[in-house]
Structure 1
Amino acid sequence: MKFEHDNMVGVHLAVSLVNLESSGSWGAEALERALQEHGIRRSRVTGSAGAEIRAWSRRLRPVFEAGSQGERCEVINALLADGAGSVYLTTHDDLRPHLHFAPDGQDVQSRVKAVTAGAVAIFTMEAEGERLGVCALDSCRTAFVDTSRSGRRAYCCARCANTDAVRRHRMKRR
């Protein structure tokens, strides 16, 4: 399965927000950097907007932790109900036609909610309810998007996979 970069921006933003919250790195500068890295234009964040986005990131985490397709869909539907505005097709900045889930004029927290809710919904549909997860290493739990060919990724990175493999090997030898 091949995933196009343009369709992945909101999904990667969702991952960044979830991991920013769980890593303890949350702060105005880190949040603004994440928003800019993922193309959220005019992303100046005030205290109340930052608090609202942080609360939203906590609501995004269950999308990655869901144990079944049905559970993931239920969580995403709640996000869509609360975050996605009126969806429309647009072109701008020499980009191909793409969907917007909130008008550019909305405040930054509304745009973040809309783009992440819409993107995880589209990605989940394209990935048949799979390919969103959290690292299988108990001490990590970093959220990730699986864009691998096989779609069987269980760890956020090779380091966590190797750490767990070494742990399992040592347990077996005992």
Structure 2
Amino acid sequence: MHYVDYIGNLTRLAVEIVNGDGPGELRREMFRQHRIPEPDAGRLAAFLPLLRDAVRAAAEGGPTGPVNALLEQHPPLIRVDDHDGEGSPHLHFAPNGEDAVVWLGRSCGAALAHVVCGDPAVTIGRCHAAACARFYVDDSRNRTRRFCSNACASRTTVAAHRARRKAAG
């Protein structure tokens, strides 16, 4: 695993959780690889505003306060891990097998710190579609993605087309 992949995957995990997506393939795999049980729904709900504020700050390029608040509440415990010899050594921000919410706070907080500090390999955006507040990780080649999904992009394009046709008469 490349370090940038780890940062990117943790950032995607944070965005997935903030967007309220159910446990997707990435989340299941990250929890499985790091021996993390699914978080308790009540504790996750209590943690969500702190994570949401940090993701929003990372998407907007600051302020740094929300990311620092996440890091203060869940300070990373940096260690080198090779997944029991099954992978190449890379940094982890939390111990494997740790409580799910604590692990998420430590891991996602550290990844979002990289993003808010301008790590060029990982960027977060907020959907430009009307009435959509979802975030996304922009992994496009030139970092110009504007929508969280093809559905939002298509809906916006169709609405703009109809508005132009209506204005033209």
- TM-score of the pair, normalised by structure 1: 0.75
Cα RMSD for the two superposed structures: 2.8
- Asked whether the 8 Å contact 1:17–1:34 carries over to 2, the reply is no
SS at 1:89's partner residue? strand
Q: How does 1:29-68 map to 2 (within 5 A)?
A: 30-31=22-23, 35-40=27-32, 41-45=34-38, 49-66=40-57, 68=60
SS at 2:125's partner residue? strand
Deviation at 1:152, TM superposition (A): 1.6
- Asked whether the 8 Å contact 1:32–1:43 carries over to 2, the reply is no
SS at 1:43's partner residue? coil
Amino acid paired to 2:35: R
SS at 1:39's partner residue? helix
Deviation at 1:69, TM superposition (A): 2.1
C-alpha separation in 2, matches of 1:124 and 1:43: 26
Structure 2 counterpart of 1:19: 19
- Which is further off, 150-159 or 123-132? 123-132
Q: Deviations over 1:101-126 (max 9, x none)?
A: 22235322211111111122223435
C-alpha separation in 1, matches of 2:93 and 2:6: 14
Aligned pair 1:118/2:110, yes or no? yes
Structure 2, unaligned runs of 5 or more: none
In structure 2, do the counterparts of structure 1 residues 61 and 33 end up closer, same or farther at CA, with 3 Å as the change threshold?
same
Q: How does 1:155-174 map to 2 (within 5 A)?
A: 155-173=147-165, 174=167
Deviation at 1:128, TM superposition (A): 5.0
Deviation at 1:133, TM superposition (A): 1.9
- TM-score of the pair, normalised by structure 2: 0.77
Same amino acid, percent of matched pairs? 27
C-alpha separation in 1, matches of 2:24 and 2:161: 42
- Which is further off, 129-138 or 152-161? 129-138
Q: How does 1:52-91 map to 2 (within 5 A)?
A: 52-66=43-57, 68-71=60-63, 73-91=64-82
SS at 1:133's partner residue? strand
Deviation at 1:33, TM superposition (A): 6.9
Structure 1, unaligned runs of 5 or more: 24-29
How many positions carry a matched residue from both structures?
161
- Asked whether the 8 Å contact 1:90–1:98 carries over to 2, the reply is yes
